[in-house]
Every structure is written in structure tokens, then in C-alpha cells.
Amino acid sequence: MRIMAFDYGTKRIGIAVTDPLRIIATGLDTIHPNQIIDYLKKYLQTEQVERFIVGEPKQMDNTPSQSAIHVRGFVNLLNKTFPDIPIEMLDERFTSKMASATIAQSGMNKKHRQNKELVDTISAVILLQSWMWGKF
């Protein structure tokens, strides 16, 4: 079964998923928060997901950031809608900066580098890879 990770934002949610063997993390999509539940219901009709990983926004002093309240609301919604899928929170500090750096190094043109949806999706991939590496 797959593992799915979310980089939650109030404007966009970056989504990444593993392959069924949980070897590779791949960017799946970027969805508006109002569409995420319908998107996941449709996705789960054809794919099995064992666990959700949600980025936990923290400040440098390890306290919750301002967006933490929104992420908690998202986690509560996931729990309510998909009670059989466990959720783990994972520190997401620096994932957006790492994603931006990855995009900058990729050789993409300026227009693609400024695509915020791409940053969110790559942030979710980095989050999922971090979770996977922590499990070895």
C-alpha cells in the first residue's frame, strides 16, 4: 500500500505519494483545500493508502507556527473522513526552501521556477522522503 504526504497551505495543498512498494516518493498533485476531500475519495477508489503524512509547521524555536491551527483543522477533517487511515505529523521546516532550491538547480526556465504549485508538490515529496528515510 502507498503512503501519502501533504504539504498543507490555505491556498494549495501539495500531495506526494509512494509507489506501492514504498521505494520512491513522487509528486502527485496540488489541490485547493476546498477540493481535497473529493480528490482523496476519488483517488482512494483506485489506490490503497496505508498512512497519511502531514507536514507540521513549526518555528525555529520548535513552537507551532501561525499556520498550525489550519493544519490541525485539516488533520481533523482527514481523521473524520478517513478514520481507518492513520495520520502522522512530521516537521516540515525548510521543505519549501529545499523545494525552491531543487527547482532552481533543475535548469527550468524562470516561469516554471516561479510556479508555486510546483513548490508545494515538491515540498510534499521532500516531506515524504524524510518520513521514508526515518523508517530505515
CATH number at residue 114: 3.30.420.140
Number of domains in the chain: 1
For the chain, how far is it from start to end, CA to CA, in angstroms?
Answer: 17
Whether the model clears a pTM of 0.75, i.e. scores above it, the answer is yes
Instruction: Check residue 75 and give its pLDDT.
Output: 95
Which domain does 124 fall in, by range?
2-134
Encode pLDDT of 33-88 as tens digits. 999 999 999 999 999 999 999 988 766 676 766 777 888 999 999 999 999 999 99
- Assess whether pLDDT exceeds 70 at residue 125: yes
- The residue-averaged pLDDT of 109-113 equals 59
Burial of 100 (0-12, 13-18, 19+ CB in 10 A): middle
